[in-house]
Structure 1
Amino acid sequence: MTAPAELKVKHCSRCGVEIVWARNERGRWMPLDRVAAANGRYDLQFSGGPSARFLPFDDASALRRRGGMTFDNHFKTCTKRGQKK
């Protein structure tokens, strides 16, 4: 499963994976992997633009059991993080 089509899909400048951008709870933009993650901790919301809400483990598990999708922060999953472009 992937993020909804209304999100603008970009590519990571380091590894090339498809990502989507959303604002976190602090109002800062963060990259999320476009493909939903089995153990993701972020829920995407769409009121007033894309926003990513961090979920405690139990809440993320409950959302997935109800059929929702959770996503990973791409800063965590990038295979080339820490490397220069």
Structure 2
Amino acid sequence: MPLYTYIAAFKGATYASQGSFSNFKGFVSAWSDLPANALPGLTPALKKELTQKAYRGEFLEVPNKKHLWRKSIDLNGDEFVVYAVQTQI
């Protein structure tokens, strides 16, 4: 199974994680199960909102890039962005 690197960004902070899966789309736990203080602006209430919204919407391919997708989630008016990078084939 391919290895994916997930890079999450929120309010100027970033967090990276990895996991091996058959595809990147269905494995929200790889990027949404964040350790405490991984993204300081992500309060418990916003983390709960993220959990509720994580499966909504689609990852979009980043133009002119291979094996790179982006997803944006609105959390109380702020943008939570996660990138999925197919790191290993």
Q: TM-score range by the shorter chain?
A: under 0.3
TM-score normalised by length of structure 2:
0.26
TM-score normalised by length of structure 1:
0.27
Tell me: higher relative CO, structure 1 or 2? Use CA pairs within 8 A at least 6 residues apart.
2
